[in-house]
């Protein structure tokens, strides 16, 4: 395409696509005249002066100060919005972690306040003891008391929580090979409560135990767990939580 300067009649070869991108505005390299090329006035048959310099493209007009200020303000607002959204999601994640940690650390308190929450913990494989007391170190042995065969049971009641807990009675039972209860009795402890992390040892003796007994179970008494109180053919100290122990074979 041939372009002719309307001021000095200098002629130039121009790329139509480049002209279209600039809106047809060109500047004459000879006289610096600026004009807009009229498509109707252009012709490809006009003679072309070889060696004539190509017209200089018109540079974009610099942005006005208020446009620069507006763009910078919009950029700052966009960055602030992204930062706020990121902080919001971080806060949600942190809150979730705090809630889950609290649910784990204070699971005993949660189940005490909301007993049905025990089912929720069980659904994720956690068994929660709402009383915070457990029977540990259970030892069972056959002895002879005043010439009569007997079963001596020793253990410790432990407060596994971080606060003081009231002590409740224990239920001891002798089971047969099928798990049926042959005899059961209540074991009482002396202390009314246990400090955080504290333990109290207990010992109970069952005279003339069943010959077919194969296992001894010690757990929180039914009155501590909301069940029906059991009969107590024998007594001793006290303790809650559950632990089973095989009965030693009789000699």
CB atoms within 10 A of CB 114: 11
Q: What pLDDT is attached to residue 56?
A: 62
**Tokens (6 digits) for 228:** 């029906």
Q: What pLDDT is attached to residue 34?
A: 84
Cα 103 from Cα 211, distance rounded (Å)? 46
Q: What pLDDT is attached to residue 237?
A: 32
**Tokens (6 digits) for 239:** 């303790």
Q: What pLDDT is attached to residue 184?
A: 94
Q: What pLDDT is attached to residue 48?
A: 45
Helix (H) or strand (E) holding 175: strand 170-175
Topology of the domain comprising 133-246: Immunoglobulin-like (2.60.40)
Listed residue (250, 251, 156) closest to 209, CA to CA = 250
Spatial contact of 10 and 54, defined as CB atoms under 8 Å apart: no
Locate tokens 């999601």: which residue? 89
Q: What pLDDT is attached to residue 39?
A: 64
Number of separate helices (H) and strands (E) present in the chain: 5, 14
Q: What pLDDT is attached to residue 153?
A: 94
Residues of the chain with confidence (pLDDT) below 50: 41-49, 225-242, 251
Listed residue (130, 111, 112, 229) closest to 170, CA to CA = 229
Cα 83 from Cα 170, distance rounded (Å)? 58
Q: What pLDDT is attached to residue 189?
A: 92
> What residues have CB less than 8 Å from 156, skipping those under 6 apart?
135, 136, 137, 199, 200, 201, 202, 239
Q: What pLDDT is attached to residue 55?
A: 60
Q: What pLDDT is attached to residue 54?
A: 59
Q: Where in the chain is the domain with CATH 2.60.40.10?
A: 133-246
Q: What pLDDT is attached to residue 82?
A: 86
Q: What pLDDT is attached to residue 180?
A: 93
Cα 11 from Cα 54, distance rounded (Å)? 9
Cα 221 from Cα 21, distance rounded (Å)? 91
Listed residue (149, 157, 175) closest to 219, CA to CA = 157
Three-class secondary structure of residue 5 per DSSP: coil
Q: What pLDDT is attached to residue 118?
A: 72
Q: What pLDDT is attached to residue 157?
A: 94
User: Residues in the chain, how many?
Assistant: 251
Q: What pLDDT is attached to residue 152?
A: 94
**Tokens (6 digits) for 229:** 């109180």
Spatial contact of 181 and 187, defined as CB atoms under 8 Å apart: no
């Amino acid at each position: 395409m041939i372009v002719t300067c309307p001021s000095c009649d200098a002629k130039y070869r121009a790329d139509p696509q480049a002209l279209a991108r600039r809106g047809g505005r060109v500047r004459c390299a000879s006289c610096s005249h600026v004009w807009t090329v009229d498509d109707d006035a252009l012709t490809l048959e006009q003679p072309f002066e070889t060696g004539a310099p190509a017209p200089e493209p018109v540079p974009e007009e610099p942005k006005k100060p208020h446009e620069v200020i507006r763009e910078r303000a919009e950029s700052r607002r966009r960055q602030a919005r992204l930062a706020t959204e990121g902080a919001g999601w971080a806060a949600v994640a942190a809150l979730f972690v705090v809630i889950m940690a609290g649910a784990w650390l204070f699971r005993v308190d949660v189940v005490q306040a909301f007993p049905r929450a025990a089912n929720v913990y069980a659904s994720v494989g956690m068994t929660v003891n709402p009383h915070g007391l457990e029977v540990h170190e259970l030892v069972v042995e056959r002895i002879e008391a005043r010439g009569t065969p007997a079963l001596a049971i020793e253990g410790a009641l432990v407060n596994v929580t971080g606060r003081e807990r009231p002590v409740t009675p224990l239920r001891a039972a002798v089971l047969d090979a099928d798990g049926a209860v042959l005899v059961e009795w209540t074991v009482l402890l002396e202390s009314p409560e246990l400090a955080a992390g504290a333990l109290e040892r207990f010992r109970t003796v069952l005279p003339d135990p069943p010959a077919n007994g194969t296992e001894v179970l010690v757990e929180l008494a039914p009155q501590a767990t909301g069940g029906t109180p059991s009969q107590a053919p024998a007594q001793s100290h006290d303790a809650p939580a559950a632990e089973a122990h095989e009965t030693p074979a009789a000699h």
